[in-house]
Structure 1
Amino acid sequence: MKTTITTYEYSYITQQVNNLTSAYLAVNDAQIRLAIRAKTIAQITPLLPSESLDAQQFLTGLATDRLSRTAATKLLELLVPLVEPFPTLSTKQLSKIFRKVKKLKQPEWANLQLHELTYLGWNDGGNQKKYLVAPFEDRLIGIQGEFSPQTIKGVCAICQTIGNVALFLSTTKSSGLGTYTKKGNYICRDSNQCNRQLTNLETLTEFLTVVQPQRRNRK
């Protein structure tokens, strides 16, 4: 029986609720609003723990016509305790994930909403680096890469949303003779915003598959 919500499911639910409130502002026909509301509830309901009183209260509140953005925000807060948040990692744990980084810049945990994070990402502007900690094959992995200071408008390879993106490149293979293979793609400069837009784990997994270091074949 489903008892929790994933962070990316929470992002999806949030997007659907925001779309619903926007539709209310644009549509005057009551029957059309009813149809939009019914479709939204049908899309959200399977993601919620059926036995949760908070989830039931959320769905009841969502059925209100002309739901305001303020009321929608309060409804979404009911779901936060049901979300499996991204774990808080100690300095020692992060250092273990990024063993080869001597002076690892730490993320600003106080500014993070862990219930919105499917992955953890932070920038080191001084060294033009970006660090990612993300779930991959049932464990957390760390990826570091060069992060371009140039920001452009484009589609993020992780969240698949148009926004402010920059080129992320990680070293995936080293010959040991001074030659390296680097792979990457354009991703959101703001990882927190990227997480709020991420509604599918598959796109994150595909990105990680490309940028993670390749394991050497052992003979």
Structure 2
Amino acid sequence: MKPTITAYEYSYISQQLDALVSAYLSVNDKHMRRVVRDTTLERIKPLLPLDEPLVQEFLTRLQPDRLTRKAAAEIVPLLEPLVIPFPELTTKQLSKLFRKVKKLKQPEWATLNLHQLTYLGWNDGGNQKKYLVAPYQDRLIGIQGDLAPQVVKGVCSICHTIGNVSLFVSTTKRSGLGSYTRNGNYICRDSEQCNRQLTDPQGLADFITVVRPKK
């Protein structure tokens, strides 16, 4: 079994099922419920390796006319083995991505679901720092910045969802004269939640383009 689904596609499928359940709760007409279900299937089937037994089981359990929220929560994880996991990096590998950080706080790998991560992000509350590891031009890069302690309701620059965000400020350019550019973006304080909400990688790509270190 070869994983073929990306983490953001997995998030998209999960959100589509949430929307389907919400529609079932608000629509009484049986024909309309079937239309909503067929529309959902049209959206998610192109993302799935249809010849896989797990996918067939997932689609079969998606068929009931009244899918409950509990049932939806049980069938989405069926696809998890087909999701490409984020790589678990060693301490040495992480240190290479953050060469200028002398005492790098490590992410809590044991608590992370790597199948739900399009990028890796963790906070160092003691130093008011946030660290991100994200794909960029077919490789992983490390991004660090100051994370404001204030939490506000706003739109995240990465997942484009309204939630609890904080100002992330990064240094993006330095010169021999010591000048530099600092860019501020509001992003989800909780990167795991951000990943679960991320269904389009373009937001992450745009964010990286702005905040990545430039020589």
Same fold judged by TM-score > 0.5? yes
The TM-score bracket by the shorter chain reads over 0.9
1:143 aligned residue: 143
Deviation of 1:3 (Å): 5.6
Which runs of structure 2 are paired with 1:121-160 in the superposition (5 Å)? Answer: 121-160=121-160
Percent identity at matched positions? Answer: 67
Verify the 8 A CA contact 1:119 1:133 in the aligned structure 2. yes
**Which letter does structure 1 place at the counterpart of 2:73?**
T
CA distance in 2, matches of 1:105, 1:177: 30
Distance 1:77 1:34 in 2: 23
Q: How do residues 95-174 of structure 1 correspond to structure 2 at under 5 angstroms? A: 95-174=95-174
- The alignment of Structure 1 onto Structure 2 pairs a total of residues equal to 214
Relative to the length of structure 1, the TM-score reads: 0.94
The residue aligned with 2:175 is: 175
What residue number does 1:87 align with?
Answer: 87
> 1:50, 1:114 → 2: CA distance?
23
Equivalent positions of 1:1-219 (< 5 A) are: 4-215=4-215
Residue by residue, what CA displacement relative to the aligned partner does 1:27-77 show, whole Å, maximum 9, x if unpaired? 211111111111001100000012111111111111211111221122112
Secondary structure of 1:37 counterpart: helix
Shift of 1:25: 1.5
Q: Deviations over 1:162-204 (max 9, x none)?
A: 0011111110111344432111311000000000000111110
8 A contact 1:3–1:52 mirrored in 2: no
In structure 2, how many angstroms separate the alpha carbons of the residues matched to 1:45 and 1:138? 26
Counterpart contact for 2:3–2:83, Cα < 8 Å: no
- TM-score of the pair, normalised by structure 2: 0.96
Q: Deviations over 1:127-169 (max 9, x none)?
A: 1100000011100000000111111111001000000111111
* SS of equivalent residue, structure 2 residue 135: strand
